[in-house]
Every structure is written in structure tokens, then in C-alpha cells.
Chains A and B, each alone.
Chain A
């Protein structure tokens, strides 16, 4: 992967997270590896249940005690999991921290905004009450909250969703962490506010030289914001590349399908968005083949039986697919499926709408 100079800030290697349930072992994360250099942004993209949030929670030591974790997470040369078990203080919140999806629940409803921001300053940086309060005001100003001093004495329910998420970001940034994980930071917000929050995060990251992991289900969100993108599916890495390469030389049919689910400005208005047929797989069932095969329009017989390996495509671009998009193998597989009208996995090609056999409306 594209690590250029020295050792990366965060290094995740062959991470596996399982949850024992009554129905069997849920493999939420299944062999994920990535490196993140200081000051860079990694976008992790995938549907619900793809393991992206579990990956983040593993890094942040937020998993419940019954989770089984294998593999290593190293932050600046220190083993994060060892730090967690030794109860290291002044690490989480100071070195790295996280912003959650829903600002409605990520603030304590009975504590004033100012207190909540000041708290970590007082605990970790040993600021006095007054210093912490002043800094909290400065932080609110930095995250673009109007009348920051006045907001300090307000309760979360007095603020709108967008303002609350700004407060959450201010809290996260209080101790100037070197890594910020943003787990779908805008999913719960109004569309009009989403862009402001994303731009704010990006601006603050650049200003502070912070590294960031931006988790989202929307490829459009990470385009132009992330330096590298990792596409996850069923707990595995499907494709990983720097952002420009990923969008220009997209290899995995899943990445392609994800991109078709979001509206694009360069398409004529009212063009049909193409949903991905089927559902994300049950990660309890250990399938032998590619986890995306049942929903893939380039599916071949080998996809159902053999798990594709994460192969190098050049320039740190990796992809786990037997018939990648833009290769002869992939094109042949797709045209064969279009000709027969059904994929080897038994999926009707008409489910893909216009991209399928003909311009049929999937109704």
C-alpha cells in the first residue's frame, strides 16, 4: 500500500473480529489490513454490515468484551490492543478519537455543552476550570458555531442537529488528537448540513495536520476528500487504492455498483439509479467463494467456489475479484451473463435495470 516515507501513523494488519452468537461465529471483520500515514485521509466505504464500523470500534477499543479480536493495530509504533488491556490513560482522546453518527445521542442530555467540551481538557491536559472554559469557547468558534461563548451554557436539546455535530467535533478535537475517526458523521443530518460538516472536518484536518478515517456508505462523500479509499464488503477488503486511481480505474464490480447507486451531476436528470440487487450476506455462513458473487453481474462459476485473493493491480491498487471490471476476463464474464440472462449464482440480469439485457423497467 502507498506508504511513502517512514512508518505509518496507524497500521492495521490482518484484523479479524468475530462475535460468538447462538447461531455461530459472526465474522464481522475478516482479514482487513491498511496503513494510514500522518495527515492523510482514508475513506472506508461499504454498506451496512460490511464491517466498517466494527473496524473503527476495534481501533478505538469500543468492542464489547465478548468480541474475539485477532491481528494487530499499531498506532505510532505502539500496540493499541496492549494499551487497551493495560488501561493506558491519556491515549484515547489525546492521540486518537472518534466522532459518531448520531449527534442526537452522542451528547449527554443533562450536561451543558461547555462542560462536556471542557471535561477532556481538564482530565487529560490538566487545565484549570477557567482555562478549559476559554479553550472550549475557542473550539466552538473553530467549528463555526455562531456566538460560541453563549453556547457554552446551553444544553444539547437547545441546539439543532448540525450544531450538535459541530459540538461533537469540537469535543473530539479538544486535545488535538493525531487521528480522528469519523463514523458516518453526516448520515443522521439534513442533506443541506451534510456538506458543511464534511467540509468543516476536512478543513480542520488540514489545519491541524491530523490523520482521518472517514467511514461512509456513500462513495460521493469520500471522493475529493479522502486520499485513499478502501471498499469493504462482508468484513473484507474488496478494493483499495488512492482516490484518483479508484475512480479512474475502478476494478471491482462492487465498487462500480456502489457508484451507480448515487446520483451524479454529469448524468442527465431523472436518470435511473441502479440499486444493487439482493442483500448483504449473512456473515455467519462461511461461503467458499466471493461474498459478493450472489449479487454480482460479472459472476462466473469460479466466483462461487473460490475466494478471490487481494491482488495487486499496480500503484498500490489492490482488488479481490476473479473478473475485474475493465479486464478481458471481466468483460467476457459480463457479456456471457447478459447473453444467458442469468448469472451462475442464479441472479436474473434484469434486476440490474438498463445495464442488464435490455432497458427493462424492473417493476
Chain B
């Protein structure tokens, strides 16, 4: 065979198992054709998220204006060299405020979805693994949570407990339990049927061990994609709450900035006051959604490979 292909000595000689590597057609190209790559868009999205998270985390140490210092510039200065994003009605620097606003928006998004993953994920895992009564009780609780209008629920809680950062995170966290939990349950049901779960039982593993060591790593894969999408949803939800004047009284988020800049006169005279927080939120939510969706597709393909 080898001599007919005329590969010569250097390209594997007579070894029938030798696969010739064609120049300019590396394995990476093969990977793309199989849809096994995350693509440039994913990395651009992740890049944006890394930038916004870094900047928000480092805000107190960055050489930027105090976001609450009124009269930093003039009132409603246009974006320019002195104030990159302009100033708002009180003369506060919008660039600094957009960065500081990210702190609250991202914190709410992250903490809420983390709580959803921890509580919903645990419940979903238990429901999917043990089935029976545990499943019926937990699934009913998920349905009850899903049937309650989310915004009304949030309004009630915040009206009752006040709108501190903690309460807003908790409220949105509770709302994310059911969607996350249902996914965790569905994924667990699929994997619990696989023989590797029975195999680890015949090797003497306990239920806890099976759930944590065998099922959780598998269930986390689809959940990680949902976490990104869920964070996007939560950031938008926080914006909606803020717009109703119900979010975080002890600070400000992008949503609250949009509310403050949305008076008709401000909108007419200084549209940049709302444009920059809206833009930042738009890009962040877009990046989260895109990255989450790509991740989901990527992991689905990986799933098929088994």
C-alpha cells in the first residue's frame, strides 16, 4: 500500500498504520469541521467579560473620579477628553459611574445565579437521583416557584424586607432556583440511568459519593452553560427592578443609572447619561448570552461523542 501511495521513506516508510500529515491541513482544521471549537465570538465575549469584571473589581484603586462627587465636571457635559462618557445632571463623571455601576449589577447577577446553582442544583440532583417521594416534593416546589410571577414575587419581597443589596441578591437567587433545579434534575435523570452509576454502586460507593463524585461532574457541564445565560437574565431583571425604583438603595447599578437618566428632559439634552449604562449592560448581557449559547452547543457535541 505504502509504495503505491509513494510516500517515500521519510513519510512513514512501510508502516501501514502511519497516517501522512498533509501540509497546511493540521488537526485544528479537522476540529472546526466537526464543530468542536468554541469560535472567535466566544473568546471575544469572554474577553469583554474579563475586562468588565476586572475593571469593576479594581474600581476603588483605578485613577478615576469619585462616582458620587457632584460637580466633577459641569452639568450634562458632553463626552469628551475631560470626561470620556460625559457627566450627568449633577455633574458626576459617567465613566466612573458606569464602572462603579457594574459592581452592583455584576454582583447581583453572580450571587443570585450562584445561589440558584447551589440550592437548585442540590435539590435537582436529589430529585433526579432518588426519584420517588423526594422527586415529587421537589418538583412540585419548582412548579410552584415557576407559577408565581417573578416580578410580583420580587416586588413583594423587596417591599417587605427593604431593598438592600443582600435582599435583591436573595430575591433574584430564589427566582433562579426553579429553572436551574429543573435542568439539574433532568440532567441527573439522564446520567443516573447510565451504567456507570450502577457500576459504582456495585463497587460499594455510597449514595452521597455517587451524587457528588459521579453525577455532579456530569451535571455541572450543562449547568455551566445555563449559569452564563442565567446571569444575563438576572442582570436584566435587576435592571427592571431598578427601573421601578426597587433595587439596591445602598448603592447604584446600571439599572438605577438608566432610571436617573430617563427623565424626558435629560433624555433630550443628554442622551449619553442613559446610553453608556445601557450600552454596558447590552454588551455584557450579549456576551453572557453568546458565550453561554456557544458553550452549550460545544458541550452538546461533546456529549454526542460518548
Contacts and interface: CB of A to CB of B under 8 A. Distances in A.
A108 interface: yes
A22 to B, nearest CB: 17
Contact of B204 (A92, A108, A109): A92
A119 B213 contact: yes
B213 A97 contact: no
A255 interface: no
Contacts of B204: 89-94, 97, 120, 123-124
Contact of B306 (A60, A104, A123, A168): A104
Interface SS majority for chain B: helix
A100 B206 CA distance: 19
Given A65-B132, A106-B196, A108-B214, A120 B306 contact: no
A217 B199 CA distance: 21
A107 interface: yes
A119 B217 CA distance: 15
B195 A105 contact: yes
B209 A108 contact: no
B194 interface: yes
B217 A93 contact: no
B19 interface: no
B203 A108 contact: no
Contacts of A111: 213-214, 217
A171 B132 contact: no
B201 interface: yes
B196 A107 contact: yes
A111 B199 CA distance: 14
Interface string A37-77: 00000000000000000000000111001000000000000
Contacts of B218: 108-110
Interface string B193-234: 011101111111110010001100110010000000000000
Interface string B292-306: 000000000000011
Interface in B171-205: 194-196, 198-205
A98 interface: yes
A212 interface: no
A70 to B, nearest CB: 22
A145 to B, nearest CB: 18
A173 B210 CA distance: 19
B305 A157 contact: yes
B195 A93 contact: no
A203 B203 CA distance: 21
Given A65-B132, A108-B217, A157-B305, A92 B201 contact: yes
Contacts of B201: 60-62, 92
**Size class of the contact patch on chain A:** 20 to 34
Nearest to B209: A123
A97 B203 contact: yes
Interface SS majority for chain A: loop
A288 B214 CA distance: 46
Given A105-B196, A108-B217, A119-B213, A92 B306 contact: no
Contacts of A104: 306
A291 interface: no
Interface string A155-167: 0110000000000
Nearest to A96: B202
A109 B214 CA distance: 9
A110 B221 CA distance: 9
Given A65-B132, A108-B217, A119 B203 contact: yes
A175 B203 CA distance: 9
Nearest to B217: A110
Contacts of A97: 202-204
A102 B213 contact: no
Contacts of A98: 199, 202
A62 B214 CA distance: 17
A157 B204 CA distance: 24
B197 to A, nearest CB: 8
B205 A102 contact: no
Nearest to B214: A108
Contacts of B214: 108, 111
A119 B212 CA distance: 13
Contacts of A92: 201-204
A33 interface: no
Nearest to A106: B195
Contacts of B306: 104-105, 109, 156-157
Nearest to B219: A110
Contacts of A168: 199
A98 B164 CA distance: 55
Given A108-B217, A123-B209, A157-B305, A62 B195 contact: no
Interface of A: 60-62, 65, 89-94, 97-98, 100-102, 104-111, 119-120, 123-124, 156-157, 168, 171-172, 174-175
Interface of B: 132, 194-196, 198-206, 209, 213-214, 217-218, 221, 305-306
Given A62-B201, A106-B195, A109-B306, 8 more contacts: A93-B202, A97-B202, A105-B306, A106-B194, A111-B213, A120-B203, A120-B204, A168-B199
23 contacts: A61-B201, A65-B132, A92-B202, A92-B203, A97-B203, A100-B195, A102-B195, A105-B306, A106-B195, A106-B198, A108-B214, A108-B218, A109-B218, A109-B306, A110-B221, A111-B213, A119-B200, A119-B213, A120-B204, A120-B205, A157-B306, A172-B202, A172-B203
